[in-house]
C-alpha cells in the first residue's frame, strides 16, 4: 500500500489549524503528523518528524515563515513547503519562490484546493496559480518570479529585512534584540542602515512601508 503523505500544519490561528487538520485527515492518503502555531515550532517539528509537506501560513509570530522555510529546506531537503496566505501578493510569492516553496494557496480558494495542492506537490509537481506560472522564469539559480518589483526593499540585506519585519510588528529595539539574539547596538545599526537605504526616518513610516511591501500584514 502506498505510504500516506505526511503533512505538518503551521498556522497561528488555532481554529484554522484545527479546521485544516480535520479536513486533511478526512483524506485517506494524507496524514497530519502535527499542527503547530509558530514558525519556530514548525522548524523544530519539521526536523523531528521530517514530514513530506509543511503547510504553512505566511504571517507567523516569532521566527518568520520564510526564514523558517529556508531553515527547513536546509535541514530537511526532502520536505516540501506549501504556503497558505489570505492574499495573493507579489511580494509574498516572490519570497516564497526565493525559499523554494512548492506551492502557494490563498485562503479564498476552496478547501479542496489545499488537498489537491498537497497531492500534486507530493508527486513532485508544484502548485501555483496560472497567473503565477506565467510569470515564472527559470535561470541558472533555479525558478523565480519574473519582473519582481524593483522596490527599495531589494537594497536591504536579509538581516535588515528581518529587523524591518519586526519593526512593522511594533517590537521595540530591545524586543527585536531579544528575539533576534542580537545586542541593542546591532539592532540600532541595522535600523540606521534600513532608514538610510529606504530614506525613511520614522519608525511609523517604516512600518507603513513594510506593510505596503507585504513584509508584514496590517
Binding site residues, another protein, CB under 8 A? 13, 15-16, 18-19, 22-23, 26, 59, 80, 86-91, 100, 102, 107-108, 110-111, 120-121, 124-128, 130-131, 133-140, 142-143, 146-147, 204, 207-208, 211-212, 214, 217-218
CA separation for the pair 86, 151 (Å, rounded)? 22
Is the Cβ of residue 41 or residue 57 nearer to another protein in the bound state?
A: 57
Burial (CB count within 10 angstroms: exposed 0-12, middle 13-18, buried 19+), residue 97: buried
Signed CA dihedral, 94, 100, 103, 108: sign only: negative
Q: Which of 129, 126, 130, 108 is nearest to 118 (CA)?
A: 126
Is the Cβ of residue 50 or residue 111 nearer to another protein in the bound state?
A: 111
Signed CA dihedral, 32, 38, 39, 42: sign only: negative
Q: How far is the CB of 48 from another protein (least distance, A)?
A: 22
Is the Cβ of residue 1 or residue 218 nearer to another protein in the bound state?
A: 218
Q: How far is the CB of 127 from another protein (least distance, A)?
A: 7
Is the Cβ of residue 139 or residue 181 nearer to another protein in the bound state?
A: 139
Q: How many other CB atoms are found less than 10 A from the CB of residue 41?
A: 18
Q: How far is the CB of 67 from another protein (least distance, A)?
A: 18
Q: How far is the CB of 167 from another protein (least distance, A)?
A: 13
What φ, ψ does residue 29 adopt, rounded to 5°? -95, 10
Is the Cβ of residue 83 or residue 177 nearer to another protein in the bound state?
A: 83
Residues pairing with 32 in the sheet: 7
Q: How far is the CB of 71 from another protein (least distance, A)?
A: 16
- Dihedral (Cα; 153, 129, 119, 30), 10-degree rounding: 60
Amino acid at each position: 500500500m502506498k505510504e500516506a503523505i505526511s503533512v505538518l500544519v503551521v498556522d497561528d490561528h488555532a481554529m484554522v489549524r484545527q479546521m485544516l487538520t480535520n479536513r486533511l485527515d478526512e483524506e485517506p492518503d494524507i496524514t497530519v503528523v502535527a499542527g503547530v502555531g509558530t514558525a519556530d515550532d514548525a522548524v523544530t517539528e519539521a526536523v523531528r518528524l521530517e514530514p513530506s509537506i509543511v503547510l504553512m501560513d505566511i504571517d507567523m509570530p516569532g521566527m518568520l515563515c520564510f526564514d523558517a522555510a529556508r531553515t527547513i529546506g536546509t535541514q530537511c531537503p526532502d520536505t516540501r513547503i506549501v504556503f497558505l496566505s489570505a492574499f495573493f501578493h507579489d511580494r509574498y510569492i516572490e519570497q516564497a519562490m526565493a525559499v523554494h516553496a512548492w506551492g502557494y494557496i490563498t485562503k479564498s480558494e476552496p478547501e479542496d484546493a489545499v488537498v489537491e495542492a498537497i497531492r500534486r506537490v507530493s508527486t513532485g509537481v508544484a502548485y501555483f496559480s496560472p497567473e503565477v506560472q506565467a510569470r515564472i522564469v527559470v535561470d541558472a539559480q533555479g525558478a523565480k518570479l519574473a519582473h519582481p518589483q524593483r522596490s527599495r526593499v531589494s537594497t536591504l540585506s536579509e538581516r535588515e529585512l528581518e529587523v524591518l519585519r519586526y519593526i512593522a510588528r511594533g517590537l521595540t529595539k530591545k524586543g527585536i534584540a531579544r528575539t533576534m539574539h542580537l545586542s541593542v547596538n546591532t539592532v540600532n545599526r541595522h535600523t540606521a542602515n534600513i532608514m538610510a537605504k529606504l530614506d525613511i526616518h520614522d519608525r511609523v513610516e517604516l512600518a507603513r512601508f513594510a506593510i505596503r511591501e507585504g513584509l508584514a500584514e496590517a
